Amino acid sequence: MEILHDFDLCVSKAQSLCLIGPNGAGKSTILHSIYGFTNIFSGQIEIDGKEITHLTPAEKLKSCGIAYILQDNSVFPDMTVEENLLMGGYTKENTDESYQEAERIFEKYERLRNRRNQPAKVLSGGERRLLEISRALVMKPSVLLVDEPSIGLEPRYIDMVFEILRDLQQTEKKTIILVEQNAKKGLEFADIGYVLVSGQTAIAGKGDDLLKNPDVGRLFLGG
């Protein structure tokens, strides 16, 4: 089944791009296609000028640094926070590197450090999301594909998660492509916004400009 048509997306290093649109528009399919979860019948994906269209997710993570952060609750509740974090590096041959990266992450995020030896089920919703993002960081990716980071979170945690993503973009120079139902938060965060309707780009532009666009406002921002 063809879901995306004539779709074109371009993002520079350390930029952020947010995909918004109605349910079923194909937003998650774009992330799945980039990561390699979905068959691509035509077209191609390139990173740094290198064609990677048909690489597997593991190959994309290893050779191009593309990581995918799953939508919603994906922590292992009975494993400790540290064990969850180290799971991010399970494909790495050199486990020392995973331990080093995990230490760096614990150094950076006090919220995880304080819970290091506790089962992940004790974490708040926001802390779980932080753990999911951090687990992807263990492989030192350069591109983060983030599927609905705000889903199921209280407003205060939504702000926290976007601040974490902002820091990863600005401080660690990660490129971030996200799908977000909370169009306002997503467009406030992103440098570039794409409105997807029925598998095609309906509107694309700077995140700020889309926030001011009356059509986007009427359809997705409740005003």
Ligand X SMILES: Nc1ncnc2c1ncn2[C@@H]1O[C@H](COP(=O)(O)OP(=O)(O)OP(=O)(O)O)[C@@H](O)[C@H]1O
Give Cα separations from 1 to 5, 39, 72, 189 (angstroms).
Answer: 11, 10, 25, 32
Of 57 and 65, CB closest to ligand X: 57
Least distance from C-beta 202 to ligand X, angstroms? Answer: 12
Of 3 and 52, CB closest to ligand X: 3
Q: Which residues bind ligand X (CB under 6 A)?
A: 1, 3, 21, 23-29, 179
Of 1 and 10, CB closest to ligand X: 1
Of 15 and 38, CB closest to ligand X: 38
Angle, vertex CA 123, rays to CA 91 and CA 174, nearest 5: 50
Least distance from C-beta 132 to ligand X, angstroms? Answer: 17
Query: Which alpha helices (DSSP H) does the chain contain, by range?
Result: 27-35, 57-59, 81-87, 95-108, 110-113, 125-137, 155-170, 183-189, 207-212, 214-220
Of 25 and 64, CB closest to ligand X: 25
What is the C-alpha separation between 154 and 125, in angstroms, rounded? 8
Least distance from C-beta 144 to ligand X, angstroms? Answer: 17
Least distance from C-beta 85 to ligand X, angstroms? Answer: 27
Give Cα separations from 169 to 22, 119, 131, 213 (angstroms).
Answer: 26, 29, 17, 25
Least distance from C-beta 160 to ligand X, angstroms? Answer: 22
Residue 98 · residue 178 · CB < 8 Å: no
What is the C-alpha separation between 103 and 193, in angstroms, rounded? 34
Per DSSP, the three-state class of 43 is: coil
